[in-house]
Structure formats: structure tokens, C-alpha cells
Amino acid sequence: MKSPAFFRFCRLAFTGLVLAALTGRALAQPTDDFPPKAKPSEAGWGFYKGWASGWAGLHQKLLARTAQGGVDILFLGDSLTALWDKEGKTVWDARFAPLKAANYGIGGNSTRQVIWRLENGEIDNLNPKLVVLMIGTNNIYSDHNSGTDAEITEGVAKIVGLIHAKAPAAKVLLLGVLPRQNAFFTNRTAALNKELSAYASKSKIQFIDASAKFLNAGGTITPALFKSDQVHLSTEGYTILADAIQPAVTALLKP
């Protein structure tokens, strides 16, 4: 006759197998090749070919930051978020750091990489009050992360769903994708932002599209607000972005 301890062990083992089956895809480890092409709503590891260890290292650093806790505002996204620590550092230190903000941006990320990161523990038990999400510009290339505007929006929705699942009390401030380089990209980001705005309205989350602040009267980007690549922001650009989002950040932090 089997003991009660034996049956408890069997139940635990079965539970573990079920959890492993459910999370096996999310726990797949990065390789040194690009992730297989998939929709923007499907998880994929780091963007740069041949850099799995470096990308995984950045992920591990963010896991370590999460373990420290003490984050009220989490900025989540790609290099435009990551560079709050460089070109945007002065304004970050003055305006957001005192609010217990943490930067969870990784360069080259699309919606797919952010989904992978969230499915692999980056905000588990962190419980921020607010997540400021800006992602999608890296989904508009013709590569393994690309998709239509509707598909990119589905990827953003997947991210928001993961945030709400892992940090139920967190509010989300969704930022529009900023204009860049030339008419092709600026027209594409404008179309994408219409999709994101409609999604945010339907989902009852706040959306800010600051694009107009980065365009001149002719509808092209204002060079002084960008670095020489005309994609990433200059220090002045981060000041403009901070001006655009700070009132919403302040309001959303209120109980």
C-alpha cells in the first residue's frame, strides 16, 4: 500500500510536468541565430545574430534588478527606452529617478523580444505602480520580427496582457512609436499609431502619441531632436519626450 507521502509526491510531480509543458516554449533559450520568423505577438529572443550571450546577459541584469525590488515606474521597450541612460540621463535623473523609476529597455528589441523577456521573469513579483511602454519601431523592418500594423498592435496587446497578468495593480502608459528618418518610416509610424490609439481606447489604457512634437511644419523630423542616425533621440529630444509624458506619469501614479 502506497503511503500518503508517495501520493503527495506524485501530485507534485504531475503538477511540475504540467507547468513545464505550459511554459516550455517561453523558457526556450536564445541561440546565436535569429529567432524563427513569426508574428509580432509570438515570443522571440534577442535581435542581433551572433550575440545570444550578450543579449541573455542584459536579460540577466534585468532579472537581478527585479530581484532588488523598489520600482514604482518601469520604462519598458527598445533602444529608445534604453538611451534614457545616456542621451536622456540628465532629464531622467531630474524627473524620473526620484520617482523610483527603472529602465528596462534593450536595444534592437521588437514586440517579440519584450514578450520573451516578460515570459521569462523580468517583472515577476516586481509589482510596479506604472509601466511606460514604447515598442514597435523595430517591427517595421522586413525581417523575422516584422508584421502589419494590426499584427504589431496584437504584439503590443500581448505585452500589455502579460504586464497585467504579472503585475495586476500596474497601470500602463502606452507611447506611440516616434517618427524617424524619412517619409516612408514617418508614414508607417503614423499609421501604426492610429492602430495603437484605437487599441488603447478599446482597452481603456492611456495612450500618448508625441509624434507631432518631433516633426517640423513640413512633416519631416526635426534634426536637432535626433542623433545623426535620425532614429534615436538627442538630449533635446529626450527633454521633449519627458515634457510630453510627465503630466500623465504624475497623474497615473496617484492612487
Q: What is the pLDDT of residues 73-127, one digit of tens each?
A: 999 999 999 999 999 999 999 999 999 999 999 999 999 999 999 999 999 999 9
Where in the sequence numbering do the catalytic residues fall?
79, 229, 232
Residue 105, φ and ψ in degrees, nearest 5? -95, 140
What SS3 class is residue 206? strand
Maximum Cα interatomic distance, the chain, rounded to a whole number of Å? 83
How large is the average pLDDT for residues 158-183?
Answer: 97
Q: Where are the alpha helices (DSSP H) in 120-232?
A: 149-166, 183-203
pLDDT of residue 35: 83
Q: Which cell numbers in the block locate residue 90? A: 540628465
pLDDT of residue 238: 98
How large is the average pLDDT for residues 16-32?
Answer: 48
Mean of per-residue pLDDT scores for the chain: 88
Structure confidence by residue, pLDDT tens digits, 63-73: 999 999 999 99
Domain 36-253 has CATH 3.10.20.30: no
Which has more confidence, 36 or 7? 36
How large is the average pLDDT for residues 6-17?
Answer: 33
Give the Cα separation of 214 and 110 in Å (integer).
Answer: 22
How large is the average pLDDT for residues 44-52?
Answer: 72
**Does residue 23 surpass a pLDDT of 50?**
no
pLDDT of residue 29: 72
How large is the average pLDDT for residues 122-140?
Answer: 97
| Domain extents in the chain | 36-253
